[in-house]
């Protein structure tokens, strides 16, 4: 009887400690988000996007270290991990139907105002539509890769800017991850070579 009473007395204490722990974790996460937000300057140009696609500090739990990138293709969000439980979230465009992919690669190269080299498949498809593409499109404001490109492994995939900001938040690309030019410039300055990039289905 005494043993059961002791268990009954300590159970509420354990519950209270658990609740306090959850509240403390939530408070720390909110404080971290506020601290990150306080250091961020507004990004000029992102007002062309829906508000949920703007760069936003958020709580995000993952086992990947700070500096990693996680892309949720179903939600159309890219998360740049900034610390334990925190990230910067950006709206992105992802691969259209039939061009989706998932996997994990590392950043192998970064380029400002990159040249675009359409794949043979892209050139054939464009030619069939009566809109032939050159082998190389020089970098610049009219280049489909936009202001910056972050190259993933040895694949044909990139995280890059775009000349079509209206596509952000949609499944619209040939598999690459598109960002608003102002957003990809911001990400480019943060991400390091060899950083892990994880693409979720």
Residues taking part in catalysis: 160, 176
- CA 55 → CA 6, 33, 79, 155, 183, distances in Å? 52, 12, 10, 27, 7
CB 107 within 8 A of CB 197: yes
- Note whether 110 and 195 are within 8 A (CB): no
Taking residue 97's Cβ as centre, other Cβ atoms within 10 Å add up to 6
Q: Is the dihedral of CA 52, 56, 57, 60 positive or negative?
A: positive
Q: Is 111 left (phi over 0), alpha (psi -120 to 50) or beta?
A: beta
List the end-to-end C-alpha distance of the chain, in Å, as a whole number. 54
């Amino acid at each position: 009887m005494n043993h059961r009473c002791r268990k009954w007395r300590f159970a509420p204490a354990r519950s209270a400690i658990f609740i306090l722990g959850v509240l403390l974790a939530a408070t720390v996460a909110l404080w971290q988000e506020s601290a990150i937000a306080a250091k961020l300057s507004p990004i000029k140009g992102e007002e062309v996007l829906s508000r949920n696609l703007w760069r936003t500090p958020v709580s995000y739990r993952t086992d990947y270290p700070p500096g990693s990138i996680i892309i949720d293709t179903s939600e159309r969000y890219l998360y740049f991990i900034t610390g334990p439980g925190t990230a910067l979230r950006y709206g992105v465009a992802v691969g259209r139907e039939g061009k989706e992919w998932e996997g994990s690669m590392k950043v192998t190269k970064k380029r400002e105002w990159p040249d675009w080299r359409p794949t043979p498949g892209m050139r054939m498809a464009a030619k069939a539509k009566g809109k032939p593409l050159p082998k190389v499109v020089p970098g610049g404001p009219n280049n489909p890769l936009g202001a910056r490109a972050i190259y993933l492994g040895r694949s044909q995939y990139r995280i890059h800017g775009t000349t079509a900001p209206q596509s952000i938040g949609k499944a619209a690309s040939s598999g690459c991850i598109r960002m608003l030019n102002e957003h990809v410039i911001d990400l480019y300055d943060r991400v390091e070579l060899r950083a892990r990039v994880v693409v979720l289905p």
